[in-house]
Structure 1
Amino acid sequence: MTKTTGSNTAKINNGVNVDALLGAREALEQTPEAAQFKWRASCEWVTGTHSRSVIGNFFGLGAEQSRDKNFRVEADHPKVFASEDNAPTPVEIVLSGLASCLTAGIAAVAQRRGIQLHSVKATVEGDMDIQGILGMDDDIRNGFGGIRVHFDIRADASPDDIKSLVAQSQKRSAVFDIVTNPTNVLVTVN
């Protein structure tokens, strides 16, 4: 993408192929049924509170989609929970997912708006009273009581433009939606 300011022309490159994204959006407007995706992960217990998830193929664009490789994500609990601390906790992975989704959105929106990014850093904190998950008090929820996301963004843009980037990313973030709105979850056992 090229941004023209007065007589200067600058190449904006945040590493996002906005033309391809817009092309996909136009194609999906013609075939909205292809926009139905199914993301998957499988998880196996390793030992103690340590587990390993594998993320690979998914369904989208009306067909199974293959990846070149599978991704592995491990989870565990810290030693203060009498665990081995082999990996981040599942709730920390959720925080990482939120930060990653919002950060990717900022890059895409900035590219579309012709804003050159120099750095984007998200810091995410989630407050949790663990009396809920320990079964000490049924009136205390098991999940986060609140989450705070703080961005430090360096870009060729005004503070208001940067705030607008973050707002648009938040508006379109799948993970932000997942953690801020109820989602139907069905759990079954074989």
Structure 2
Amino acid sequence: MQTTTMTKTVSNGVNTEALIGARGAFEQMPEAAAFTFRSTCEWMEGTHSSNAINGYFGLGQDHERKQTYRIESDHPEVFAAADRAPTPPEIVLAALASCLSGGVAAVAQHRGIQLNQMRAMVEGDMDVRGILGMDPDVRNGFSAIRVRFEIDADATEDEIAALVAQSQKRSAVFDILTNPTNVHVTVA
């Protein structure tokens, strides 16, 4: 009796071979793994600002992106603003969803799981009395964040749950939100 093994090709758009190769290189030269990302925010007017994201430091040198990316922020009309862009907290929620989704795609690619469709819905609860200085016992940021995935993949429910769990374990933005980070603010 002859047994035939079929290899399934998966394409989620993630070059996992390059990522695995980078891990090997960073094991040999850990100092190359130290990256510094940058954003420059210009105030426009009122609560409207525009962030320019381009250069970063990594692999022992400065790099420029192919283009400068811009992220604008503002506040909604209920806060007496012009509502020209999402609020900064909404941008944080978008960053979390993007980071987790990218991680799911990478892990799925590495594990040979084809993604057909994925959506992450993120909600964050905030009591704005903290931001407005009305109650010192109310924090300024989110009191809770919820992420709910809808994933259609050629995988079992357990395999999909494992993708999300591994993405969460390796997500930079999840780590930033769930662990204290030293933040230093200065005036030039």
For these two proteins, the number of residue pairs brought into alignment is: 185
- Separation in structure 2 between the aligned mates of residue 54 and residue 151 of structure 1, nearest angstrom: 30
- Separation in structure 2 between the aligned mates of residue 51 and residue 67 of structure 1, nearest angstrom: 21
Q: CA deviation at 1:66?
A: 1.6
Query: Which residue in the other structure is 1:136 paired with?
Result: 134
Query: Which residue in the other structure is 2:79 paired with?
Result: 81
Query: Which residue in the other structure is 1:96 paired with?
Result: 94
Amino acid at match of 1:152: E
- Equivalences for residues 10-89 of structure 1 within 5 A: 10-89=8-87
TM-score (norm 1): 0.96
- Separation in structure 2 between the aligned mates of residue 90 and residue 110 of structure 1, nearest angstrom: 30
Deviations 1:68-126 (A, max 9, x none): 11100000000000000000000000000000000000000000000000011000000
- Separation in structure 1 between the aligned mates of residue 65 and residue 50 of structure 2, nearest angstrom: 19
- Equivalences for residues 140-179 of structure 1 within 5 A: 140-179=138-177
- Separation in structure 1 between the aligned mates of residue 157 and residue 106 of structure 2, nearest angstrom: 18
Where do 5+ consecutive residues of structure 1 fail to align?
A: 1-5
Q: CA deviation at 1:41?
A: 0.2
Q: CA deviation at 1:10?
A: 2.3
Query: Which residue in the other structure is 2:114 paired with?
Result: 116
Q: CA deviation at 1:7?
A: 4.1
Deviations 1:33-84 (A, max 9, x none): 0000000000010011000000001000000012111100000000000000
Deviations 1:110-146 (A, max 9, x none): 0000000001100000000000000100110000000
- Separation in structure 2 between the aligned mates of residue 9 and residue 21 of structure 1, nearest angstrom: 21
